Structure 1
Amino acid sequence: MDIEPVTSLNAFEQLASSWNHLWAASSKADILSSHEWFASWLSLFAAKPHLLVLVARKDNQVSAILPLMKCWEKTHGIWIHVVRSVTNCHSHGFDLVAMETDPALFSEMIKKTFSLAHKNLIILDYISEHSLLYQMIVKGGHFPYLHHVRLHSENCQVRLQGSFDAYYNQRASKFRKNVRAAERKALERGPLQLVRVNRLEELKQITKICYDLETTGWKGKDKEALVQVRQAHDFYFRLAQRWCDEKRLDVFLLKSKEDWLAFYYCLSSAGTYRAVRIGINDAFRNLGPGMLLTKYMLEKLFAEKSGKVWDFCGGSARWKSDWCDCREKFYRVFIF
């Protein structure tokens, strides 16, 4: 078994074919672990990255990839030089790209990382409790390096199993009463329409609507709307270009008369719909547009039976908890 470092963008690009072959053969084949995801991320969020991608080969075949980079990290107000996962706030999970868990191989990759980087700390972010990394570092109990695991977030999710009615009737009665009241009020204004866009040409026409909706709410006030953050804007557009026509990207919107009320921008991968961007029209906040969009959209997804889980992403805010019937924890792992 050989473990080689990839330290340049050129070498990273040349790895694409082997990476995609391994990724496609893995049990999940999650978009978040694809070469395209990291290529887009690096081109927009790391202008001159100090890459340290570990590639394990067996019999001249790539068997595992750990995408890391060297960077400065601020911890407790102090800047330190570390090795960390290729992630930021737009990442929704990070894992070893591999067919299966191999604790001995992973330990060797960590050993190689420390040897090459001459650093005393590796930080892995957005590690799911269901990931290969979590299984090898935390659950296995035999990981040979000192490590500290800290809860990063807990995502609210919905299991898309059975019927929508059976699921919905298990929500709190007060919550269902609030949904009914919001729906009656919205319908007094006119009929509600759920619009789904999952073709690139249609998406190009609809994105401006989504951008405008984001700017009307708190994201616009905090200068965090996509149209206000160029790198994020371009990142999500590149994802659309790559994944939309493969039915891995959907935008759900709620419309009332000629007004757009709310939207979800979703990635579909490994049986999970991830709501990576959410926005509502603040002018119609009194109608509960996010609540109604969620209800109509979940009804459709339950009926289609095309996915296993809906993931709200971004933590467990109260409004997400109202819909939630399962959760997924994500961790930040420090390895010394």
Structure 2
Amino acid sequence: MQAETGHGSEEWDALQQDWRNLTNRLQPRSPFMHWEWLSAWHRHFATNHPLTVLVCRQDNQCTGILPLVTHVRRGKKLQLRTLRLLGTGLSDQLGLMAQLADTSTLARALYDRRHQWDLLELKDVEAGDPAIAEFCRALINEGLQPTITPDCKRPCLTIDEDWDSFYARVIGKKTRRRNRIQRRKLESIGRLSFETVTSAEAYLGHLPQIRKLHERHFNTGQKRQRPFDTTTGYRFFHDAGQALAAQSMLALHLLKLDDRIIAYDLGLRHNRRYLQYLGGYDSNYARYSPGRLLQVYLLRWCFETGFSEVDFGRGDHDWKRKWTSQTRENVTITVPGPTLMSRLRRTVLMR
């Protein structure tokens, strides 16, 4: 088994079929590990950053790929080179696209290239991930010193009962009654409708209206890049959403009043798991709790569609805790470069 090194966009693009084959073989838990998401992320956010791709092959078959983006922090005389996973920042859960047997090869490849980096930082990997645990052991065997620090929690809900039973058990009578009252109030104002969008054409058709909603809306969930914050961010969500929808991995839930979006929630579908990614509502209608009404509709849809789990995404927020007490934890793996120059750069530039 050997590791190859590729640099730049052309090498990454050439690995598309290998990555897809690995995805089919390894079945990663996270939808953010799919080519549709990562290739769009690279195209819009990483073209100005050096890319290092470690590839494991055995008998001419690709068995593992580790794509790393170099972020450079420059000082007056020194620069700190930090390696991060492709997709870091926007992705709620990342990991290794490699077999357990490849972790030692990847660790050795990183050690052999120790003069090319000063800090390895793997953010938002899931605690207890077997591949990550094996990778940490392999790094230690190479004389490196990984540290694991808690990052954030991701509330999740296992679906093992029907919707009516769950709703009555988890949400009290007063809240259910308040939800009905809020809905009737909205219906008295205009025509109220709930909608689930899964096609690429319909998703792209709603994006401009969601972008306008940004000016009068409250954002829910983890603070992150949204499709309307910057032109680059909008283009990313345009391309990634279109590609994911083509693979039946995207769902956009909408609450409309007279065809005007007053709440939305964008999520990803993956291996009978639904991951809520980002959402918001029109603050002009805050008194009617449109976000909560849409959440009820969304969860009912998940139950009736046949999902086995709902992942509420990063951030242990109160509104998520109203639905579940279960959580998973994201951690950050930090590995300092072992060379003397790396230690000097970290000492000077990380003070």
- The TM-score with structure 1 as length reference comes to 0.87
Q: Which residue in the other structure is 2:16 paired with?
A: 16
Q: Which moved more, 1:200-209 or 1:140-149?
A: 140-149
Equivalent residue for 2:175? 178
* Cα distance change, pair 48–199 in 1 and its aligned pair in 2 (3 A): same
In 1: Cα distance, 2:17 partner to 2:292 partner = 42
Corresponding residue number in structure 2 for 1:293: 294
* 1:170 partner SS: helix
Identity of aligned residues (%): 19
Task: Note if contact 2:92-2:313 (Cα within 8 Å) is conserved in structure 1.
Answer: yes
Aligned to 2:341: none
Tell me the distance in 2 between the aligned counterparts of 1:3 and 1:51: 16
Check whether the contact 1:72–1:79 (CA below 8 A) recurs between aligned residues: yes
Deviation at 1:182, TM superposition (A): 3.4
- Matched residue SS, 1:212: helix
Q: Residue 112 of structure 1 aligns with which residue?
A: 109
Distance in 2 between the 1:79 and 1:160 partners? 49
TM-score between the two structures when normalised by the length of structure 2: 0.84
Match of 1:160 in 2: 159
Aligned-residue offset at 1:101? 2.2
Could you tell me whether the CA contact under 8 Å between 1:28 and 1:270 is conserved in 2? no
C-alpha distance after superposition, 1:247-294 (max 9, x if no partner)? 211111112344422111111113321222211111111111111111
Alignment of 1:67-216 (within 5 A): 67-72=67-72, 80-98=80-98, 100-102=99-101, 105-118=102-115, 119-137=117-135, 143-144=140-141, 145-171=144-170, 173=172, 177-190=174-187, 192-216=192-216
Distance 2:44 2:256 in 1: 32
The whole-number CA distance in structure 1 between the counterparts of 2:139 and 2:225 is 42
Unaligned runs of 5+ in 2: 337-351
Cα 1:267/1:150, change in 2 over 3 Å:
same
In 2, Cα distance between equivalents of 1:199 and 1:25: 26
Instruction: Assess if the C-alpha contact under 8 Å between 1:30 and 1:270 holds in 2.
Output: no
Contact 1:183–1:287 (8 Å) recurs in 2? no
In angstroms, what is the RMSD of aligned CA positions? 2.7
- Find the aligned partners of 1:188 and 1:219 in 2 and give their Cα distance: 23
How big is the shift at 1:41? 0.9
Number of aligned positions between the proteins: 325
Judged with a 3 Å threshold, the aligned counterparts in structure 2 of structure 1 residues 142 and 72 are, in CA distance, closer, same or farther, namely closer
In structure 2, what is the Cα distance between the partners aligned to 1:107 and 1:268?
32
**Is 1:253 equivalent to 2:250 in the alignment?**
no
Q: Which AA in structure 2 matches 1:123?
A: E
Summarize the Cα distance change of 1:168–1:79 in structure 2 as closer, same or farther, 3 Å threshold: farther
CA distance in 1 between partners of 2:334 and 2:55 (Å): 21
- 1:58-84, CA deviations, whole angstroms, 9 ceiling, x for partnerless residues? 11100011111222269xxx9732222
Give the Cα–Cα distance (whole angstroms) in 1 for the partners of residues 159 and 148 of structure 2: 30
Tell which deviates more after alignment, 179-188 or 319-328: 179-188
CA–CA distance in structure 2, aligned partners of residues 291 and 125 of structure 1: 30
Structure 1 residue ranges without an equivalent (≥5): none
| Distance across 2 between alignment mates of 1:2 and 1:86 | 21
Seen in structure 2, the aligned counterparts of structure 1 residues 224 and 57 have a Cα distance that, compared at 3 Å, is closer
